[in-house]
Amino acid sequence: MTVLEELYDRIENEYYGLREEWSEYEFEELMCDVGKIAKMKSIYNYIRQHEPFSEKQAEHFLKMQNPFQVICNRYDPSEGEIHEEYKTVIDDIYAQKITDMQSQPYFADLKWQMYHEKEKYEDRLAPHIDKNAFRNVSYNLFIENHQFDEYQSRVLMQFKEPLIVLVKEIGSTEEFFDKQVERVMETLGSVDLLTYQHELNKDFILPETRQRHEAIIELMDIVPEFHFQTAMEWLMLNRHLNSSMLEGDGEDNPYQDFLKTMRDIKEEHGDEIFQKVFNIGTDVVMQNEELIEVAKYIADDGEIDRIPELLDDDFFLTPYEEHKQGGMSLC
């Protein structure tokens, strides 16, 4: 690392350390210091964009403990120059609601992380990142202050660059942002995140993400003719039915009962019936209690095309044997 790189890294770390302090300010305290904050942000942006130091100057400033604050303390711009930065500072620090999100710690951490990404990428987007999508996501997150719930925040925090994940997944569409986010969360819930296209932060991978991957591997092993999207339909249903398990530390597995049911059906009825039961998930999925009875119905030469209709009538909530004993016609 050159002395220039070391100095710019030092200044960046110092500046973001100050931002963390500002994020703890109450409104009145923020308003008292907004001029100073505006000045510091203006200076930092200038340094970042123009990299004005020579190597000899860098060597000199590296001797200081807080070179950025030394520069800021020596610089005294006019009131008009500062005024231009007021709105930006308030938008960045206060309007983002960084100070009032104690009740949403995961969302607060996620938004802070995404703000760092925005600062990093907004002036030098990679060629493969859609600029319009980036502006759209940034506007809705940092101007309109879209809020994620705590579970959505935890899902996004699994990624090393959650802001870029949103940008790439949303792309350029005309949907309302709420719909765009809903679509992204559905997509992230319908894939194997451990093998998906976005890089994960290993320290923040959720237990459910690992459990989902393991469930997919098990289904690949036991289903003779495995189809990924059909498997995901089954897993998404069970994640929804067991949503209370998603907040835990991984002791509860939302897919455990479903996988046991599938293993039992395979053992009881053999591969042919088991494959037919699995394939039903392409069109319709059901609870485990109904799944057991559906397997009995198929094994008894029941018409597969009638299963959605029978599900609507709660037919499979009653043990199949009782329907047989009652003499009900299934033709």
Confidence of residue 323 (pLDDT cuts 50, 70, 90): confident
pLDDT by residue (tens digit) across 107-116?
988 988 998 8
Count the Cβ atoms, other than its own, within 10 Å of residue 270: 11
Give the rounded percent of residues in the chain with a pLDDT score beyond 70. Answer: 85
- The three-class DSSP label of residue 200 is strand
Distance CA 29, CA 34 (A): 9
**What's the pLDDT tens digit per position in 61-96?**
898 889 888 888 777 655 455 444 434 443 454 444
CA distance 284 to 325: 27
At 130, list the tokens.
Answer: 């859609």
- Give the position of tokens 């319908």: 190
Residue type, 244: S
Residue 276 Rama label (left phi>0; alpha psi -120 to 50; beta): alpha
The pLDDT tens digits of the residues spanning 289-304 come to 999 999 999 999 999 9
Neighbours of 141 (CB within 10 A): 22
pLDDT at 254 over 90: yes
Q: What is the pLDDT of residues 209-253, one digit of tens each?
A: 999 999 999 999 999 999 999 999 999 999 999 998 887 776 899
Contact between 34 and 83 (Cβ < 8 Å): no
SS3 breakdown of the chain: % helix, strand, coil, rounded to 5?
70, 0, 30
With cut-offs at 50, 70 and 90, classify the pLDDT of residue 160: very high
Report the number of secondary-structure helices (H) and strands (E) in the chain.
Answer: 16, 0
Residue 9 has pLDDT above 50, yes or no: yes
Residue 46 is predicted with a pLDDT of: 82
Q: Output the CA torsion sign for 278, 282, 283, 287.
A: positive
* pLDDT for the residue numbered 82: 45
What is the residue-averaged pLDDT of the chain?
85
pLDDT score of 76: 65
Give per-residue pLDDT as tens, 258-276. 999 999 999 999 999 999 9
User: Can you give the pLDDT at residue 119?
Assistant: 79
> Predicted confidence band at 140 (pLDDT cuts at 50, 70, 90)?
confident
